[in-house]
Amino acid sequence: MPAILALETSCDETAAAVCLLDGTLASSRLHSQIAIHRQYGGIVPEVASRSHITKVKPLVEAVLDEAGIGLSDVVAYAATCGPGLVSSLLIGTSMAKALSVAENKPFLAINHMEAHLLSPFVGLPEITPALGLIVSGGHTMLVKVKAVGDYAILGRTRDDAAGEALDKVARMLGLPYPGGPEIDRIVREQSGDPKAFEFPRSRLPDAPLDFSFSGLKTSVLYTLPKVEIQAPGVMANLCASVQEAVVEVLVEKTLHAAQQHKLETVAVSGGVSCNSRLRAALAEACEREGLRLLLAKPHLCTDNAGMVAFTAVHRFRQGKTSPLTQEVDPHWRLDA
């Protein structure tokens, strides 16, 4: 059964996956480095790349075994070539290129953001026009998806991405890395009040579909000295109020973009799309407005190779391949 083997090492997750040419994800494995980087309070690039080196080969062997195929069944090799950390990107691309040369098979360089963008379509028969919301630790953007490879960026973050803002606020609150999921957990488990604190919702008159979360982060910084964070309910209320400020802006701008560009499908991806409040708010808003909502499955939201393999299959079916001389690009734009 012909398939594509893909690798993802753009940041701090080592991942490999096998996707059949019909778009079926046959196997996807991931090694998380959260425990390694938690002691530093954030990602250390050199530590991340060293971990990739030790984990990538066993993951390749594991996904081939799980998919029940051998290298002879692989028709092409793919890897994330950007954006991301150069030292991390080099590990996955070097491995994929080496396999490509050794097996005399094509190589495909995949844009990490395109893989996120298409991840909500995994398991569906086709990729249809949609308004894509990518919301992660490093990126927040609205994208018009016309077809595979045909995208228009409608809005992007001007400073901190949504996930980055949540992580930085969590650090101010003394929560462990990664902070976004911790904020979500506290709100759910302790029933925080999202109206307890008034935090700003950034709206940019000159670019209504762009995002800015730096003001939210600053507002939290100035609020903390005025409250007793150890008092009952204060931490939960802070987390809920911050989370609501982020979610409200994301939902509002997503609906506005879909309506403005007459798109009936909203496809949401990226690590922050795992946030329970965001998923619920989007579901409610899209149902109210008569929009079809596609949420990437949780295991395809954070960095993973399944979405890379799926994207590579669609590119390969278009007749696309990449030269082995293509280098990694830490700033590779989705619309480049």
pLDDT digits (tens, 9 = 90+) for 66-75: 999 999 999 9
Q: Is 211 left (phi over 0), alpha (psi -120 to 50) or beta?
A: beta
Q: How many domains does one find in the chain?
A: 2
Is 326 among the domain residues?
no
Residue 336 located in a structural domain? no
Question: Do residue 154 and residue 271 come from a single domain?
Answer: yes
Q: Are residues 267 and 154 in the same domain?
A: yes
Low-confidence ranges of the chain (pLDDT < 50): none
| Coil, helix or strand at residue 125 | coil
Determine, yes or no, domain membership for 322. Answer: no
- Position 335 in a domain: no
Cα separations in angstroms, 88 against 48, 64, 130, 183, 229: 7, 22, 31, 27, 37
CA distance 149 to 128: 12
223 and 97 both lie in a single domain: no
**pLDDT in the model for residue 46:** 79
243 lies in the same domain as 156: yes
- Say if 274 falls within a structural domain: yes
Residues 248, 156 within the same domain: yes
Question: How far is the C-alpha of 247 from the C-alpha of 249, rounded, in Å?
Answer: 5
According to the model, what pLDDT value does residue 36 have?
74
Residues 177 and 230 in one domain: yes
DSSP states of 23-76: S-EEEEEEEE-HHHHHTTTS--HHHHHHHHHHHHHHHHHHHHHHHT--GGGEEE
State residue 138's pLDDT score: 86
What would the pLDDT profile of 152-168 be if each residue is shown by its tens digit?
Answer: 999 999 999 999 999 99
8 A C-beta contact, residue 76 and residue 321: yes
- Alpha carbon distances (Å) from 306 to 28, 212, 318: 5, 30, 19
User: Partners of 144 in the beta sheet?
Assistant: 131, 152
Q: Does one domain contain both 140 and 237? A: yes
Whether residue 212 lies inside any domain: the answer is: yes
pLDDT at residue 39, rounded to an integer: 74
Q: What is the CATH number of the domain that holds 305?
A: 3.30.420.40
170 and 141 assigned to the same domain: yes
Co-location of 190 and 285 in the same domain? yes
Instruction: Looking at the structure, tell me whether residues 90 and 150 fall in a common domain.
Output: no
pLDDT reported for residue 177: 86
Q: Give the structural domain span for 215.
A: 128-295
| Same domain? 305 vs 264 | no
Is 275 domain-assigned? Answer: yes
pTM metric for this prediction: 0.94
Same domain, yes or no, for 139 and 267? yes
Residue 84 in any domain: the answer is: yes
